[in-house]
C-alpha cells in the first residue's frame, strides 16, 4: 500500500490543549537555564494563546522563543501581544511592495506524490529550480504539471536521489521518529562553548553597560551577518532592533529575492563581498559578533569554521545556525524540508492524505529569536568575563523540541483579528513597503536598506 495512504494524525497520550501554555513556560525556563538568563524579580503570568493553530504546539514555541529574546535584552515579556507574535511569524503573508503581495513560493516548491509516498521540494532560488529540472530531466520551461508527472513515475528514494544528485533540494515526507527526537532533545537547544584564543592581545571591543533611559540594549555592538533566507536574518534583524550595528554580507553571484530581503532586512546595512576576501577578515577583526547561516561544510571551505574564527579573533561571539546540524555538514535545507523530513508534515496532514505544514515557518522564526537571545546574553557575559564563545542551533533541533511538546488532536480554528495595528510602513528607495511590526514589545524597526546598497565597512 502506498505510504501516502497511511497518513494519520499522531496524537500522543499527553494530548491536551491546555498543556501548550505549560510547555511554552517550560521551554522558556529551559532556555533561561542553558543561557544563564536572570529574569530578576519578574513573575510571568501564564503564557497567552498565540493564534498559530496547528496540532503541534506552534504558538507555545513562538511565545517561548520571542520571550527568550525579550528576557535576554533585559526586558519583560509580560506585555507580549499574542496577535503581534503570530503576525511576526507569518510576516510573509502581510508583506506588500507598492501595494502588491510578492510571490513567496516558487511553483517548484511543494509536496509531490510519488509511487510510494510523497516528497517535498524547494526551488525558490533559480539555481535550485534549475537543479530540480536537471535531476528530473525536464526542459527549462517545464511547468508544475511536468514536475508532477515526472515525480509520479518515481519511487520516493529515487526521486530524492535524482534531484539531490543534480544539486537540487528534496526530502522524503517521513514519519515521526520519537527515538531520534529524544536523542536530539538530550542535547542543549542552544549549545554554548568557550574557545581558547590564540592571543590575549586584540582590538578593544565595545562593552555593554547598564542601559540608560532611551538607549537600546545592544548599542555600540557590531554584528556581521553572514546568513540567508529566514532564520539567520530574523536573528540579526532582532539584534539590529536591539541597537546593534548589523552589516549583512552577501556573495556577488547569488542575489537575494527582493521580497525576502525586505521582509527580514530591517535596521541592517547590506553589502556585497566575496567571503574569501581580505576585507571580510578586517570586518571580522572589528566585529563583536558574527552570525553564520551557511552549511557547515561551506563555512569550512571559506575558512569560516566557528572555532577558527573564535580563536583568531579574541572576544568574538560566533553564532552558527544550520538546517540539519553539524552532523550533516554538506546537507542544505530549509524550514519546509525539515518539517517534511522530521515527521511534522505528516502530523499536520489535514485528512491523512496530502501532507500538511505548520501555520508559519515556525522553525525558522523560532531559531532566529532563540539565537538572538543567545548572542545578546553572550555579549553581556563577555563584558563581565571576556573570552570568545560559540553558540549553535539548527532547525532540526528546534523541530525535535516542538515534537516533544504537548499536541492536540485537531488544530484550533483560525482567529480573525485586525492586522492593521501590527503593520509597519516604510519608504525603501522609492518603494512603499508594508511589513509586520516587531514581536518584541516596546521596540520599532528601522527601514531596511536596499539589498547590496552599502559598502562593506563598519
What is d(CA 28, CA 189) in angstroms, rounded to the nearest whole number?
11
Question: What residue ranges define each of the domains in the chain, with the CATH number in brackets?
Answer: 10-104+188-458 (3.40.50.10540)
pTM score, two decimals? 0.93
Residue pair 239/246 in contact (Cβ under 8 Å)? The answer is yes
The DSSP secondary structure of 120-155, one letter per residue, reads EE---SHHHHHHHHHHTT--TT--HHHHHHHHHTS-
> How confident is the model over 190-238, as pLDDT tens digits?
999 999 766 555 554 567 765 566 789 999 999 999 999 999 999 999 9
What is d(CA 278, CA 291) in angstroms, rounded to the nearest whole number?
18
Residue pair 221/239 in contact (Cβ under 8 Å)? The answer is yes
Instruction: Find the length of the chain.
Output: 458
In sequence order, which residues have a C-beta less than 8 Å from that of residue 221 and are 6 or more positions away?
206, 208, 239, 243, 244, 245, 288, 289, 379
What is d(CA 234, CA 238) in angstroms, rounded to the nearest whole number?
6
> How confident is the model over 31-49, as pLDDT tens digits?
999 999 876 666 677 788 9
CA atoms within 13 A on the CB side of 400: 22
Q: Which three cell numbers stand for residue 366?
A: 523560532
pLDDT confidence of 11, banded at 50, 70, 90?
very low
Distance of alpha carbon 153 from the chain centroid:
34
In sequence order, which residues have a C-beta less than 8 Å from that of residue 59 and are 6 or more positions away?
20, 24, 49, 50, 51, 52, 53, 82, 86
Q: Which element (helix H / strand E) includes 20?
A: helix 19-35
Average pLDDT rounded to a whole number, residues 78-95: 96
Average pLDDT rounded to a whole number, residues 334-362: 95
Amino acid at each position: 500500500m502506498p505510504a501516502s495512504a497511511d497518513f494519520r494524525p499522531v496524537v500522543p497520550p499527553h494530548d491536551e490543549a491546555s498543556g501548550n501554555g505549560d510547555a511554552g513556560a517550560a521551554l522558556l525556563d529551559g532556555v533561561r537555564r542553558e543561557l544563564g538568563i536572570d529574569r530578576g524579580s519578574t513573575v510571568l503570568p501564564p503564557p497567552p494563546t498565540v493564534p498559530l493553530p496547528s496540532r503541534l504546539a506552534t504558538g507555545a514555541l513562538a511565545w517561548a522563543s520571542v520571550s527568550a529574546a525579550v528576557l535576554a535584552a533585559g526586558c519583560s515579556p509580560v506585555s507580549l501581544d499574542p496577535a503581534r507574535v503570530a503576525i511576526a511569524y507569518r510576516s510573509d503573508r502581510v508583506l506588500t511592495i507598492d501595494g502588491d503581495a510578492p510571490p513567496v513560493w516558487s511553483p517548484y516548491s511543494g509536496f509531490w506524490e510519488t509511487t510510494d509516498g510523497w516528497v517535498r521540494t524547494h526551488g525558490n532560488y533559480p539555481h535550485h529550480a534549475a537543479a530540480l529540472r536537471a535531476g528530473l530531466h525536464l526542459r527549462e520551461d517545464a511547468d508544475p504539471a511536468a514536475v508532477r508527472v515526472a515525480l509520479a513515475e518515481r519511487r520516493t528514494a529515487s526521486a530524492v536521489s535524482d534531484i539531490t544528485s543534480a544539486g537540487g533540494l528534496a526530502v522524503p515526507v517521513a514519519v515521526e521518529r520519537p527515538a531520534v527526537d529524544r536523542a536530539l532533545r538530550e542535547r542543549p537547544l542552544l549549545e554554548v562553548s568557550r574557545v581558547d584564543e590564540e592571543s590575549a592581545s586584540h582590538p578593544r571591543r565595545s562593552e555593554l553597560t547598564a542601559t540608560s533611559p532611551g538607549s537600546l540594549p545592544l548599542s555600540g555592538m557590531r554584528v556581521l551577518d553572514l546568513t540567508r533566507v529566514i532564520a539567520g536574518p530574523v536573528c540579526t534583524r532582532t539584534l539590529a532592533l536591539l541597537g546593534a550595528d548589523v552589516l549583512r554580507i552577501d556573495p556577488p553571484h547569488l542575489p537575494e529575492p527582493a521580497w525576502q530581503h525586505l521582509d527580514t532586512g530591517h535596521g541592517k546595512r547590506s553589502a556585497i563581498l566575496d567571503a574569501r576576501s581580505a576585507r571580510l577578515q578586517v570586518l571580522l577583526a572589528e566585529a563583536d559578533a558574527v552570525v553564520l547561516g551557511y552549511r557547515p561544510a561551506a563555512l569550512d571551505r571559506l575558512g569560516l569554521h566557528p572555532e577558527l574564527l573564535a580563536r583568531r579573533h579574541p572576544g568574538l561571539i560566533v553564532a552558527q545556525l544550520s538546517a540539519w546540524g553539524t552532523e550533516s555538514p554538506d546537507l542544505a535545507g530549509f524550514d519546509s524540508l525539515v518539517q517534511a523530513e522530521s515527521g511534522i508534515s505528516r502530523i499536520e496532514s489535514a485528512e491523512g492524505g496530502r501532507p500538511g505544514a505548520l501555520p508559519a515557518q515556525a522553525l525558522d522564526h523560532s531559531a532566529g529569536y532563540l539565537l538572538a537571545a543567545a548572542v545578546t546574553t553572550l555579549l553581556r557575559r563577555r563584558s563581565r568575563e571576556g573570552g570568545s564563545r560559540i553558540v549553535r542551533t539548527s532547525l532540526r533541533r528546534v523541530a525535535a523540541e516542538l515534537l516533544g511538546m504537548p499536541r492536540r488532536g485537531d488544530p484550533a480554528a483560525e482567529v480573525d483579528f485586525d492586522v492593521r495595528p501590527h503593520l509597519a510602513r516604510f519608504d525603501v528607495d522609492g518603494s512603499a513597503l508594508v511589513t509586520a511590526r516587531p514581536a518584541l514589545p516596546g521596540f520599532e524597526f528601522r527601514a531596511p536598506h536596499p539589498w547590496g546598497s552599502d559598502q562593506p565597512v563598519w
